[in-house]
């Protein structure tokens, strides 16, 4: 534990350092045998006075260092307590049942346990069943088949991006877009999927896609279609209780290349964690109601 081992060790280390410094200065301040023979008593007393002052100043510096370290340790404790409290609040029910489905936004970094589902499990402190698959499509039924009937508390999904990018090249995608979600956000394959998950008793989250401001990516030409898709989905989620939309449009800072994977499309491991963090914040907020 931090409290039982770290703080005493730090204080002990600083105490030893202070003693060592004082002893070192003390030795240097003592008159040496090879000093001139006329070294007077008065001069010796003056030297002793200066030596005492020096040791006192060193002692004050050591105390200030110890106080700074105590302040740092206190901050570390505060941060740790906040993180633990947030995790416990988010996972108020330790048997929380979460299912994640979708495309590569969700599944990326699963090798090495760094996917959105892996991070969500870590943050909430509960098991997450992840059935998302890289390169999944909505219009071919791939994401629909990932959904597993069960007593879920939350179902987290995304999808539609591959249908626009790989399906119609983000050009002349009106038919594909309308099939996935109508312009008024009231019907479509995405709406059907979200309602199906909600009918099973779960609260449902649709996660939007990343943006990459200031970064040249292979999917820049899909930005307008992506914005329109998410506008319609958000309209739908606003019409139904317990169905939510999590936007990622502002997640990647301008020019922050490290937020993206090597292909400049998918999330890096850090970004997968940040996506999961946004999802967990919503789950926590709704759990408190």
pLDDT one-digit tens code per residue, 116-130: 999 999 999 999 999
Q: Residue 27: its pLDDT value, please? A: 44
Instruction: Single out the residue in 38, 55, 89 at which a domain terminates.
Output: 89
What b-and-e string marks burial along 7-21, b requiring 16 or more CB atoms within 10 Å of the CB?
beeeeeebeeebeee
Question: Do 83 and 104 share a domain, yes or no?
Answer: no
Give CA 56 to chain center in angstroms. 46
Question: Do 152 and 29 share a domain, yes or no?
Answer: no
Q: Which domain holds residue 36?
A: 2-89
Question: Do 165 and 225 share a domain, yes or no?
Answer: yes
Q: Residue 95: its pLDDT value, please? A: 78
Number of domains making up the chain:
2
pLDDT (tens place) for every residue of the chain, 289 residues total = 333 343 334 334 434 444 344 434 444 444 444 444 443 443 444 344 455 445 445 455 555 555 555 555 555 555 554 555 555 554 454 579 999 999 999 999 999 999 999 999 999 999 999 999 999 999 999 999 999 999 999 999 999 999 999 999 999 999 999 999 999 999 999 999 999 999 999 999 999 999 999 999 999 999 999 999 999 999 999 999 999 999 999 999 999 999 999 999 999 999 999 999 999 999 999 988 8
Measure the CA–CA gap between 282 and 164, rounded to whole angstroms.
27
Question: Do 24 and 47 share a domain, yes or no?
Answer: yes
Question: Do 77 and 152 share a domain, yes or no?
Answer: no
Question: Do 73 and 195 share a domain, yes or no?
Answer: no
Q: Residue 82: its pLDDT value, please? A: 52
Q: Which CATH number characterizes residue 230's domain?
A: 3.40.50.1110
Question: Do 105 and 75 share a domain, yes or no?
Answer: no
**Interval 65-87: pLDDT, tens:** 555 555 555 555 555 545 555 55
Q: In this structure, is the dihedral angle defined by the CA atoms of residues 79, 82, 86 and 92, taken in order, positive or negative?
A: positive
Question: Do 81 and 101 share a domain, yes or no?
Answer: no
pTM recorded for the entire structure: 0.70
Question: Do 73 and 112 share a domain, yes or no?
Answer: no
Question: Do 30 and 46 share a domain, yes or no?
Answer: yes
Measure the CA–CA gap between 262 and 243, rounded to whole angstroms.
33
Instruction: Single out the residue in 71, 89, 107 at which a domain terminates.
Output: 89
What three-state secondary structure class fits 270?
helix
Structure tokens at 220: 């820049």
Instruction: Single out the residue in 89, 108, 137 at which a domain terminates.
Output: 89
Nearest residue to 261 via CA among 120, 145, 111: 111
DSSP β-bridge partners for residue 98: 128, 154
Nearest residue to 275 via CA among 158, 173, 151, 192: 158
Q: Residue 47: its pLDDT value, please? A: 42
Structure tokens at 253: 């800072």
Question: Do 100 and 55 share a domain, yes or no?
Answer: no
Nearest residue to 233 via CA among 171, 159, 155, 176: 159
Q: Residue 289: its pLDDT value, please? A: 80
Q: Residue 1: its pLDDT value, please? A: 38
Question: Do 58 and 7 share a domain, yes or no?
Answer: yes
Q: Residue 11: its pLDDT value, please? A: 36
Structure tokens at 31: 């008159």
């Amino acid at each position: 534990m931090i409290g039982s081992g770290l703080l005493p060790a730090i204080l002990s280390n600083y105490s030893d350092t202070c003693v060592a410094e004082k002893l070192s200065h003390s030795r240097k301040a003592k008159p040496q045998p090879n000093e001139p023979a006329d070294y007077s008593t008065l001069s010796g007393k003056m030297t002793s006075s200066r030596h005492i002052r020096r040791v006192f100043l060193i002692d004050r510096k050591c105390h200030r260092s110890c106080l700074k370290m105590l302040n740092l340790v206190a901050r570390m404790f505060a941060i740790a307590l906040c993180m633990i409290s947030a995790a416990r609040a988010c996972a108020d029910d330790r048997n929380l049942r979460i299912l994640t489905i979708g495309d590569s936004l969700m599944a990326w970094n699963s090798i090495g346990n760094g996917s959105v589902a892996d991070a969500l499990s870590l943050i909430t402190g509960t098991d997450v069943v992840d059935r998302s698959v890289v390169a999944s499509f909505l219009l071919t039924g791939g994401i629909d088949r990932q959904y597993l009937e069960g007593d879920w508390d939350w179902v987290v999904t995304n999808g539609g991006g591959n249908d626009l990018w790989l399906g119609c090249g983000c050009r002349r995608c009106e038919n594909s877009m309308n099939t996935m979600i109508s312009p008024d956000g009231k019907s479509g394959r995405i709406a059907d999927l979200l309602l199906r998950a909600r009918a099973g008793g779960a609260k449902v989250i649709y996660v939007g896609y990343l943006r990459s401001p200031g970064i040249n990516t292979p999917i820049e030409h899909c930005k307008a279609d992506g914005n329109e898709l998410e506008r319609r989905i958000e309209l739908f989620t606003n019409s139904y209780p317990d169905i939510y939309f999590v936007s990622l449009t502002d997640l990647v800072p301008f020019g922050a290349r490290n937020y993206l994977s090597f292909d400049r499309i998918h999330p890096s491991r850090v970004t997968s964690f940040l996506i999961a963090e946004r999802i967990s914040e919503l789950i926590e907020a709704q759990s408190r109601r």
